[in-house]
Amino acid sequence: MYRQRRGAAETLEVVRRQGSRRVNAAVPSSETGWAFGDRVRVPSKPEWGVGTVTRAAAAHVRGNPCWTLTIRFPNAGIKSINTAAGTLERVEDTTEEGGGETAVAIAEAEAVAGDDLLGPQAQRRVESLMIGLPESCTDPFRSIPARVEATLDLYRFDGSGRSLVDWAVAQTGLDDPLSRFNRQELETHFRRWEQVRDSHLAKLAYEAKQKGQSVEKLLAAAPEVARNAAAHARFRR
């Protein structure tokens, strides 16, 4: 048992070295140098997956330095993006199948799956990450309306057909989530995530009401399922 656990721990350490650092917080693109091979995510389109820079050229827009990048995304093909147009997120944690904290956690869980101690711990971490919400929804330093707007944007995922796979790409950072999960497993994770999302929106709606911050216009334009979730806020005490 000791040798088995030691072997699992050594395998886990190899996986961690392959993805040595966490995903950086979004950095203003104009202040960041880019190069061939850099891995990148578009925060507003996480379902595109973690892309690879195939060409990077320094440029200027209105006198400000920026970069024009050609990026190959696993689920969106080749895109040309000027960093002056928005913030990109550099991904430094990578595996052969994707990038980001959850992708690395999934690889780690597989590496120690046969270990009685490390296996369940790693799996619980994956399950926790699979129901996590983006920082833009939960950051307490953002205004409540901004967090509500970010949370409402998550309702573009409905858990059916291609939308389920798009959600899984966004949530896991894997190029092909179906290589690690079957559809039933993804549906189970999505239902749990859906409950967390709805509960979070209801909490934000309640906090907005308590603090006199109007989010009614945002909710009025939201899908019916989101309005129904927010309506539960009135039952909070």
Per-residue model confidence (pLDDT) at position 95 = 77
Structure tokens of 103? 């992708």
Q: What is the pLDDT of residue 153?
A: 95
Could you tell me the domains of the chain? 1-23+92-122 (no CATH), 25-86 (2.40.10), 131-235 (no CATH)
Class of residue 215 by CB neighbours under 10 A (exposed 0-12, middle 13-18, buried 19+): buried
For residues 202 and 226, what is the distance between their CA atoms, to the nearest angstrom? 9
Q: Count the neighbouring beta carbons within 10 Å of the beta carbon of residue 92.
A: 14
pLDDT at 64: 86
Beta bridge partners of 55: 70
Q: Does the global pTM surpass 0.95?
A: no
Q: What is the mean pLDDT of each run of 10 residues along the chain (237 residues)?
A: 46 45 39 85 91 92 89 94 86 81 89 86 93 94 95 94 94 92 95 96 92 91 92 62
Q: How far are the Cα atoms of 34, 141, 160, 168, 226 from residue 200, in angstroms, in the given order?
A: 36, 16, 21, 19, 11
Q: 183: helix, coil or strand?
A: helix
> Residue 175 — φ and ψ, nearest 5°?
-65, -40
Question: What are residue 171's phi and psi, to 5 degrees?
Answer: -80, -35
Q: Can you give the pLDDT at residue 234?
A: 56
